[in-house]
Structures are given as structure tokens and as C-alpha cells.
Structure 1
């Protein structure tokens, strides 16, 4: 085994981001809160009421997602006919997220989904997300966004990329005269 094949010692591993560390805990807390609230509402108003609320959330979320999807497709179609690019944003993504939150069973997710359907809330969330995205993009790498796309293009899954050498599958390459396939590349 070469030194390149060994895993780095634990001290050399990069630290996990806050999001990756606390996201599972947040999802578990959200799940427990949803169940607790559903049981409290079922105890106060009855199980049929909770069932009807959940069904109404699924139906409303489906309608919202369908409407937002149609609006996004219509916007894209009009932009393509004009020969330009579609308008940026438009609130369709946040409307779809609101519809998805309505579809997810639970009263907290329904409340968050309904909030995302209000235009001033959509604009505030959109501005906040854009600020965070731009800040992270500036902090991530000294290069431009084009450099990131170039790096992504280098490591396409349809081709082998080995550091420092180009691998070709030519029939006249040395070692291929027998017609047997080459052994897989390892690092």
C-alpha cells in the first residue's frame, strides 16, 4: 500500500460545517414538534379535524405547486419566443417551496408554507438568500464562478481523469495487442 492510498489522520480531516453538524438535530426536533402539535390539536378538536387539516394541506400544496410550475413554464416559453433569457427569480421557486411545505404533513410546515405564499415574505426571503449566497460565493474561492464551472467540467463522470496523465482507449496502444481489457485504474 502506498502512502497516497492511506486515509489521513483524524487531525488532518477538515471540520464539519455547522449545517452538516446541526441539520439532523434540527430535523429531529422539527419532527417531534410536528407530532406533539398534531396530538395537542387532535386532543382539543378531534382526530377528524386533524385529518381534514392534513388533507386540505396536501390539496392546497398541490394546487400551489401546479400553479407555480405553470407560471414558470409560461415565463420560460415567453422568454424563449422573445429570444432572451427568462426573468430572474419571479418567486416561482419560493412558491413551489411553500407548496411543498403545505404537502408535508404537519401544522408547523403548513404555517411555514402559507407564510412563503405571501409576496412580502417571499421578497424578504429571496433578498436574504441572495445575500447569503453571494457572501458564501465570495468567501469560497478567490477565482470566479467560471473557474468553478471549469473545475466541474474537468471531472465529468463520462471520462477518466488521472492527475498528470491522459488515458486513451486506443486499439494500437501498447499492451492492448492481445485484445484483453485493461485493468482498472487505481490511485
Structure 2
């Protein structure tokens, strides 16, 4: 009985070894068949890891150079420092330009900033300059009427700024005596806008 059990155990061991060898043989076949693909995948993984590491290092270096340039610019602006700031951090460069009395030309450039917030603020300030000129009776082109000037203004994406701009346009129209046009403009105000109450008051304005 013992011999029979031993033979059965040996047979089972052979079966297990056979299964292991069969699996290894299949793996070797798969490895040979997809060897090039596996090598390519491995290369891509290694390249990805290296790229992430190098990219992170370069980004950190750019941030460091941008911060150093910004600190030096605050002490004394030079063309070289401005160029260094622009190359290493376009957003910080645009922010610096906006916060240091930008000219009309600079504002026009900032309206195309990669930073959406800076672009919108610059756009609003440029529009504000035009509206202030209209309100003061100063028009660069006397042949343009107010409606044409408004139509030529760039668009704003920020809803709050949009509502505030509508209110300002209506005020200018009222100031110029275009009452009906002003009331039509005020109808564009969102009833839930924080400026709606002011708009309602202006609708009853009589010049």
C-alpha cells in the first residue's frame, strides 16, 4: 500500500513539474513572439520616467530664475531682467506689466495674455478707458457714433464684468441723451445680477 502511495505521489510531482515546464515553455514562446513590442514598451516607460524627471527639474529651474528676476526688477527694472522674466514665467511677466502703469499698447498686448484672468482684466481696463473718454465727451473719431464705438469694443468672458459694462454703457447713453437706447441696454441686465437694482433705478431716469 505504501509503495502505491509513493508511486502516486511521484506521479503527481511529475505532473506538477510538467505543468511548470509547459507554462515556462509557453512563456518563452510569448516572449519570443512579442519581444520587440515588450522592448519598445520598456523603452517608452523608461523614456517617460526620464522625461517627467527632467521636465520637473527644468520647471523648477525656470521658477527659480523667474523669482530671482522679479525680485531684481522690483529693485530696478532693466531690459535684460524683463526678458529673463518673460522667458521663464510669462504669467508673472504679464502680471508685472499690468501692475506697473501699463500703456495703451501694453494693455492691448495683455489682452492676449495666456493667463485668462490677466487677459480679461486688461480687456476691461481698455474698455473702461474708451468709456471714460466717451463720458468725458472726448472721441478719437468724431465720425463714429456711440453705438459704433460700443460695437467695436472687445468682448468680456467674465459675467460680472459683462454686467458692469452694460451698466456703464447705459450711463453713457443717458449722459448723451440717448434715453431709449439706454433703457434697451439696461434690459440686458440679468435680474439676478448685483447691478439689477441700479439698473431698475436708471430705467426711471429722466434727463
Q: TM-score with structure 2 length normalisation?
A: 0.31
Higher relative contact order (CA 8 A, sep 6+): 1
Q: TM-score with structure 1 length normalisation?
A: 0.33
User: Which entry has the higher C-alpha Rg, 1 or 2?
Assistant: 2
- Higher helix content, 1 or 2: 2
